[in-house]
Amino acid sequence: MLGAICFGSHANAYNALLCLPVTTLLWCLLVFGASIVQDRNLSEYDPSSSSSSKNVSCSHPLCKSRSSCKSLKDPCPYIADYSTEDTSSSGYLVDDILHLASFSKHAPQSSVQSSVIIGCGRKQTGSYLDGAAPDGVMGLGLGDVSVPSLLAKAGLIQNSFSICFDENDSGSVFFGDQGPATQQSTSFLPIGEKYDAYFVGVESYCIGNSCLTQSGFQALVDSGASFTFLPTEIYAEVVMKFDKLVSSRRISLQGNSWKYCYNASSEEMLKVPDMRLIFSKNQSFVVRNHIFSFPENEGFTVFCLTVMSTDGDYGIIGQNFMMGHRIVFDRENLKLAWSHSKCEEVIDKSHVHLVPPPAGQSPNPLPTTDQQSTSNGQAAAPSTAKTAPSKSIAASAQQLDSVLRVACSLLVLMCLLLSSD
């Protein structure tokens, strides 16, 4: 399967959340993520230092903002507005080469190159200036300019990819991976008549040995959300049941957005109730990371339930619920699949054949207008924050500030706890 990724002649990959002031405004992304330079060197992508980069012109079929161009030869502009107050990104689109390598212990390594769209921001506002996505966000959605969409349309991979977050707070993305035969799955849900986002239907929410009645809801599966959010009514039922089953003393932590925190002995920690999501056809998703625990102090551990509420009528399944699973976004068959995994076994057991370009030809170019066409023959526009389903964008964007506040609060809280030892 495809794993290693780099641009032009060099690349670095990071996974960090920094609560630091922004000092530089260069912002390049895989539509529409970010590489904001903070007070440390994150080896940001700079198109001027890449010999293979070139501007996407206003005449390109993937340029949606053509009406803003003075000339068809101008660089294609973009603007992404989010519902989080005053949060936006604007700039221009760049075409550059993505280098990918296969990983398998049972087959020789191979590699290919393919063109992808990168958004280079000239102006950021709101949460992005407060440290959100300091080192980049890769576009993995269903839009035509996302990385998996471009790779699949170029014929390099199956139209599928997997994400694996291990229990050591690291993870991997594997393009073309459709998962093992033993995995469980559920179908994606359309928004209206279109599949514009990774929505699924949860039939019931289970805590401990029982499932809550009338606890079904729809959820956006969002690998970019750090935590999981539930509709208000479902959240109230979940936390009430969880609190009833926990034998530890509930405590209040200042500056912490999580409302249900406890001080537990080592014996009580063993009795923290499990959680499961039940999908159609009785497909069960075991949640392996629904609490956050702080360093043990004098035999006791402080832990919090890392589930939050949202005012929307659907929830968001975030990274914390995905941890310990190999999550497959099978876009070809329109389903979400999962299996328990320690992540390193994904490399050991899977291999996707790469299709290199014919000898003497350049790396796979961006799909042509014909390749971008939908089944009804109309050219499909690139996906942006404005054109995605309004509910999914609103829900995702509303959580951006909350996630940052929680992360920063945790850093402060951990420092206080450690300093009190």
Task: Taking residues 227-255, report their average pLDDT.
Answer: 95
CA 166 remoteness from chain centre: 14
- Asked if residue 172 belongs to a domain, the reply is no
Looking at the chain, the whole-number percentage of residues with pLDDT higher than 90 is: 44
Secondary structure of residue 399 in the 3-state scheme: helix
- Asked if residue 357 belongs to a domain, the reply is yes
Q: Which of 8, 67, 71 is nearest to 43 (CA)?
A: 8
Compute the distance between CA of residue 254 and CA of residue 239 in angstroms, rounded to an integer: 19
Secondary structure of residue 345 in the 3-state scheme: helix
Residue 179's pLDDT is what?
Answer: 94
- Asked if residue 73 belongs to a domain, the reply is yes
DSSP codes joined into one string, 293-321:
EPPPBTTEEEEEE-EEEESSSSEEE-HHH
Please give the mean pLDDT across all residues of the chain: 75
Residue 82's pLDDT is what?
Answer: 67
Pairing of strands 228-231, 204-207: unpaired
Q: Could you tell me which residue, 316 or 390, shows the higher pLDDT?
A: 316
What is the count of structural domains for the chain?
2
Task: Taking residues 323-329, report their average pLDDT.
Answer: 95
Please write the tens of the pLDDT for every residue from 36-57.
Answer: 333 455 567 788 888 999 999 9
Please write the tens of the pLDDT for every residue from 368-402.
Answer: 333 333 333 222 222 223 223 334 333 333 343 34
Least confident of 68-82, 286-300, 351-365: 351-365
**66 with 204, same domain?**
no
State the residue for tokens 């056809």.
281
Task: Taking residues 13-26, report their average pLDDT.
Answer: 27
Residue 135's pLDDT is what?
Answer: 63
Give me the torsion for CA of 232, 237, 239, 242, rounded to 10°. -160
User: Could you tell me the pTM of the whole model?
Assistant: 0.74
Q: Could you tell me which residue, 408 or 176, shows the higher pLDDT?
A: 176
Please write the tens of the pLDDT for every residue from 174-197.
Answer: 999 999 999 999 999 998 889 999
- Asked if residue 237 belongs to a domain, the reply is yes
Domain that residue 74 falls in: 2-157+352-386
**379 with 304, same domain?**
no
**212 with 312, same domain?**
yes
Q: Which residues of 141-179 are buried (b: 16+ CB within 10 A; e: fewer)?
A: bbbbbbbbbbbbbbebbbbbbbbbbbeeeebbbbbbbbb
